[in-house]
Amino acid sequence: MKYYLTVKNYTEAMRGKSYLNGLNIHCNAEKISGRGGCGYAVTVRDNPERASRLLGTIGVDVLKIKSEKENGRSDGLS
Protein backbone atom coordinates (compact mmCIF):
# COMPACT_ATOMS: atom_id res chain seq x y z
CA MET A 1 0.00 0.00 0.00
CA LYS A 2 1.16 3.52 -0.75
CA TYR A 3 0.92 6.28 1.85
CA TYR A 4 0.95 10.01 1.18
CA LEU A 5 2.47 12.22 3.88
CA THR A 6 1.22 15.66 2.92
CA VAL A 7 3.61 18.55 3.59
CA LYS A 8 3.42 22.34 3.13
CA ASN A 9 5.45 22.80 -0.03
CA TYR A 10 7.86 21.38 -2.61
CA THR A 11 10.94 22.28 -0.56
CA GLU A 12 9.73 20.29 2.46
CA ALA A 13 8.80 17.33 0.26
CA MET A 14 12.30 17.28 -1.23
CA ARG A 15 13.99 17.71 2.17
CA GLY A 16 11.90 14.86 3.55
CA LYS A 17 12.62 12.61 0.60
CA SER A 18 16.35 13.23 0.84
CA TYR A 19 16.40 12.60 4.59
CA LEU A 20 14.37 9.39 4.48
CA ASN A 21 16.33 8.03 1.51
CA GLY A 22 19.50 8.71 3.52
CA LEU A 23 18.07 6.44 6.22
CA ASN A 24 17.45 3.73 3.58
CA ILE A 25 13.69 4.32 3.66
CA HIS A 26 12.52 4.21 0.06
CA CYS A 27 10.25 7.14 -0.71
CA ASN A 28 9.34 9.71 -3.35
CA ALA A 29 8.19 13.32 -3.46
CA GLU A 30 5.04 13.83 -5.50
CA LYS A 31 2.79 16.68 -6.53
CA ILE A 32 -0.78 15.98 -5.49
CA SER A 33 -4.04 17.77 -6.16
CA GLY A 34 -6.97 18.19 -3.84
CA ARG A 35 -9.88 20.44 -3.00
CA GLY A 36 -7.65 23.35 -2.04
CA GLY A 37 -5.51 23.13 -5.17
CA CYS A 38 -2.14 21.47 -5.60
CA GLY A 39 0.12 20.31 -2.83
CA TYR A 40 3.06 18.03 -2.20
CA ALA A 41 3.60 14.77 -0.37
CA VAL A 42 6.32 12.35 0.55
CA THR A 43 5.16 8.85 -0.39
CA VAL A 44 6.21 5.67 1.41
CA ARG A 45 5.15 2.04 1.06
CA ASP A 46 4.97 1.10 4.73
CA ASN A 47 5.06 2.44 8.29
CA PRO A 48 3.86 6.00 7.59
CA GLU A 49 3.71 6.86 11.30
CA ARG A 50 7.44 6.16 11.69
CA ALA A 51 8.25 8.18 8.57
CA SER A 52 6.14 11.06 9.90
CA ARG A 53 7.96 11.01 13.26
CA LEU A 54 11.34 10.99 11.52
CA LEU A 55 10.36 13.92 9.31
CA GLY A 56 9.31 15.83 12.42
CA THR A 57 12.84 15.49 13.82
CA ILE A 58 14.16 17.65 10.95
CA GLY A 59 11.33 20.19 11.10
CA VAL A 60 9.20 18.83 8.26
CA ASP A 61 5.60 18.95 9.48
CA VAL A 62 3.33 16.26 8.08
CA LEU A 63 -0.11 17.82 7.70
CA LYS A 64 -2.02 14.64 6.87
CA ILE A 65 -1.41 10.95 6.21
CA LYS A 66 -3.52 9.36 3.49
CA SER A 67 -3.38 5.82 2.16
CA GLU A 68 -4.02 4.74 -1.39
CA LYS A 69 -4.54 1.12 -2.20
CA GLU A 70 -3.00 -0.16 -5.41
CA ASN A 71 -6.42 -0.30 -7.09
CA GLY A 72 -6.73 3.48 -6.81
CA ARG A 73 -9.21 3.67 -3.92
CA SER A 74 -8.24 6.17 -1.22
CA ASP A 75 -8.81 5.98 2.52
CA GLY A 76 -7.89 8.84 4.85
CA LEU A 77 -5.81 7.84 7.87
CA SER A 78 -5.53 11.09 9.75
Other C-beta atoms closer than 10 Å to the C-beta of 76 total: 9
Give the per-residue pLDDT at 76.
53
What is the mean predicted confidence (pLDDT) over 11-19?
Answer: 98
> Which long-range contacts (C-beta less than 8 Å, at least 24 apart) are formed by 38-42?
39/6, 39/7, 40/6, 40/7, 40/8, 40/9, 40/10, 40/12, 40/13, 41/4, 41/5, 41/6, 41/7, 41/13, 41/66, 42/4, 42/5, 42/7, 42/13, 42/16, 42/17
- Structure confidence by residue, pLDDT tens digits, 26-68: 999 999 987 777 899 999 999 999 999 999 999 999 999 999 8
Give the per-residue pLDDT at 16.
98
